[in-house]
Amino acid sequence: MEYTGAKALVESLKKEGVKVIFGYPGGTTIPLYDVLYDDKDIKHILTRHEQGAAHAADGYARASGKVGVCCATSGPGATNLITGIATAHMDSIPLVAITGQVGTALLGRDSFQEADVTGITAPITKHNYLIKTAEEIPQVVKEAFYIASTGRPGPVVIDICKDAQMKKAEYKHPEKFEHPGYKPTYSGHPKQINAAAKLISNAKKPVLYVGGGVIISGANKEVFELAEKCNIPVTTTLMGKGAFPETNNLSLGMLGMHGTAYANFTVTDCDLLIAVGARFDDRVTGHIERFAPDAKIIHIDIDPAEIGKNVRVDIPIVGDVKNVLKSLIEKVKPKAKNEAWLAQVAEWKKKYPLSYKKTKIIKPQYVVEMLDELTKGKAIIATEVGQNQMWAAQFFKYTKPRTFISSGGLGTMGYGLPAAIGAQIAKPEAVVIDIAGDGSIQMNIQELTTAVNNKLPIIIAVLNNSFLGMVRQWQEVLLNKRYSATNLCNNPDFVKVAEAFGAIGLRAKKPEDVKKVIQQALKSKDRPVLIDFVCEKEENVFPFVPAGQAINEMLID
């Protein structure tokens, strides 16, 4: 069968199971959009900015576990995707980004809307392709989806010249893909697993340090089994939220810069740290030499380059964490009695709980607690970046994977709303809430239109403190309240903004309004609701480990 390149592209996407594309058309993607115009199987969601499309595809991927797909035109369209691609890359999210490129005859001539997309995206993708002929398209799409979704997942860019989309070629679907330079390791080395099992069975003060790799691998059940079998307390990274139920006794919540004090004390004091799908990021470790100083370290990760990158490791195990944990669970001795250690952990938990002081002004932590209570902990929470993100991580108890959707590695403000859109499209029945700050929400607020047009009942909880709160907090603590460029007292009226976009706008000014407005918002079934929570202006996120300090040296309140 002879197809145009654009038609071959759409057919190939269908073969990969693509149901939805987030995108924005332009000159060099006109042939693609012409094919999508009559297509019945792939739904195109028109965002209002290409960055929104990339984040929405990313949110879709995180909520569903499938590959997210976004597309944009050449030049500015493609460069507007960059922040979204980098966000997905840092958090290992499977994403395929399709960009139009100028015709092959115009390449390299500084043509209108030309940008070197494969050059620009090389450092922020797992792989990328420049396609110059229609013939290459089916094979490249196959490879792109395979690479994006296997091993350590990540974004793949396919940059397609306009004439390659228009020319006809014989369409043949490649059944399989093998590449000599791409062979991820899935099962751990048995010798290493035995050694790890021995360490775990003999440890007196073990702790599991669980990251986003567990969510990606779908290994939450195995983490639970290992923790229960050996009585090991579990702390998660921001990316690992939902990998272990935070309502469980063994849960320590999050560790690191804004982690719980008890998680940080436990890690500092442990004699065995079992890192599972986590990468010893600086926000987790603080001062690296003083991180878990007395511990032996087992590091399980699918990416060999993560092992030994930031810390020395006693037992490295390269493999898919689900596979490795399964073998490990069989080999470890059950440890019914870890009592002294668990008692110590319980004491820290009791002595240093997460807390805040209630006043007559709305506390952002209270809003997050109420969102948890009123959704019975069952919502999908997307976040922006800053204080809102940390409170969303601290005061909502996550119990299931893929329910906390947040830009961890890159820390992208403006991520939450479009990611919530993607998540809601992936999970139409779920309650999806974007916990936002008044700064972040303005970075991609145009996506309210996308949410309204697609009748998505997303709740946007703006924790409005009229500040860029996280930077303000650093300025307060470290720079004697020199609030340089962080005061946002000239914010727009968010309720009116929401209404102008066709969404519902609500406002809570006092603590007693909080429950009421959330209940009201939860009633909306086909329209987004923005709630402006007028919060305490100078509330801080605690605990707080100032950058470069050891994690047990935190400011607790």
Partner 1 sequence: MKHTISVLVENHPGVLNKVAGLFARRGFNIDSLAVGTTEDPQLSRMTIVVHGDDQVLEQIQKQLYKLINVIKVFDLPPDKSVDRELVLVKVAVNAKNRAEITELVDIFRGKIADVGETAMTIELAGDSSKVEGAIKLLEKFGIKEMVRTGKIALLRGSDTK
Contact residues for partner 1, defined by CB under 8 A: 118-119, 122-123, 126-127, 130, 147, 179-182, 303-305, 308-309
Options 7, 126, 142, 162, the catalytic residue: 162
**CA nearest neighbour of 303 among 328, 284, 275:** 275
List residues bridging with 459 in a β-sheet: 433, 529
Cα distances from 43 to residues 36, 38, 494, in angstroms, run 8, 11, 30
Shortest Å, Cβ 241 to partner 1? 26
Shortest Å, Cβ 139 to partner 1? 14
SS3 (DSSP) at 405: strand
129's enclosing H/E stretch is strand 127-131
Per the listing, tokens 């996280």 go with 470
Helix residue ranges, H only, 16-116: 30-38, 50-64, 76-90
Shortest Å, Cβ 314 to partner 1? 15
Cα 61 from chain centroid (whole Å) = 9
Q: Are 422 and 59 in contact (CB under 8 A)?
A: yes
326 is catalytic: no
Q: What is the b/e burial string over 97-125, where b = at least 16 CB atoms within 10 angstroms of the residue's CB? A: bbbbbbbbebeeeeeebbbebbebbeebb
113 is catalytic: yes
302 vs 529 by CB, closer to partner 1: 302
470 is catalytic: yes
Options 90, 257, 413, 470, the catalytic residue: 470
Question: Token digits for 11?
Answer: 């057919």
Single-letter amino acid, residue 318: V
Shortest Å, Cβ 127 to partner 1? 4
306 vs 532 by CB, closer to partner 1: 306
305 vs 340 by CB, closer to partner 1: 305
162 is catalytic: yes
Give the span between the Cα atoms of 71 and 97, in whole angstroms: 6
Shortest Å, Cβ 181 to partner 1? 5
Phi then psi dihedrals of residue 44, to 5 deg: -105, 125
Enumerate the active-site residues: 50, 112-113, 162, 470
